[in-house]
Structure 1
């Protein structure tokens, strides 16, 4: 995958989330399946992860110091889901778009060589391309769930 493809995905993710602004309240609050999160909860947990990347990953990737410890994923996801149940569709989508556009801007500011430089998270060595490929897989997993729940 190339940096341009990573940027394209992130721009497309903004368009996808904006397209959800047409949903009814019933659709927005629809569970992805029995015992699963709602579309609102899935959408609402994405911006906090983008914010984490902006604040606690991108500034540290190429320093010779260890990366800050990541959040407890279950705690962050549970808190994000709870907040999403209280927020409107518009607020959730606006937050996603705002934070994702910040991430896109930060990615555009990277030097071409940064994408292939290696860094370490715990015991794992990877490049920025690999890191963001995993983020794209996470997005796409949830976007497929949303499309399936909406039958689109």
Structure 2
């Protein structure tokens, strides 16, 4: 996947997230399934991890670098969940996501196509910025599918009633 294709995926995902502004508060805050996150928690989760990537990961992704161990995933996810439930407004959370994602697109565009394939080490394994970003695209896709499945179930239930 080229740098342009990756940035296009990020931009399209941002557009999709922006479309979530039309959700009702019930749709925004209701868990996708019993014991699962809500749409708001997923968007906070993505925002928190994007910020972490920008601040802690991206600057260290240089040739031969050994990335420090990632922070505790459960702690980060819990913080994001609590933030989503803190009373932050839907529009504000979406805006935070969009601003952070825009910074990632700018950071990617600041690198050359060759830089995308510079090898560094993440948890002892060789990785490139391209690999890392493709994984982020897949992570986005995973959560998008979860949200769409939830909304489709919700709309089908409403139509049946």
Partner in structure 2 of residue 103 of structure 1 = 104
Partner in structure 2 of residue 68 of structure 1 = 68
Contact 2:57 2:67 survives alignment (8 Å): yes
Partner in structure 2 of residue 5 of structure 1 = 5
TM-score after normalising by structure 2:
0.89
Map of 1:2-151 to 2, 5 A cutoff?
2-62=2-62, 64-86=64-86, 87-151=88-152
Contact 2:61 2:120 survives alignment (8 Å): yes
Q: Secondary structure at the match of 2:121?
A: strand
| Structure 1 unaligned regions, length at least 5 | none
Indicate the RMSD between aligned Cα atoms, in angstroms.
1.3
| Structure 2 unaligned regions, length at least 5 | 156-161
Task: Give the aligned length.
Answer: 152
CA distance in 2, matches of 1:91, 1:69: 31
CA distance in 2, matches of 1:114, 1:27: 41
- Bigger CA radius of gyration: 2
TM-score after normalising by structure 1:
0.94
Contact 2:121 2:127 survives alignment (8 Å): yes
CA distance in 2, matches of 1:65, 1:37: 35
Cα gap change, 1:23 to 1:139, in 2 (>3 Å): same
CA distance in 2, matches of 1:95, 1:16: 14
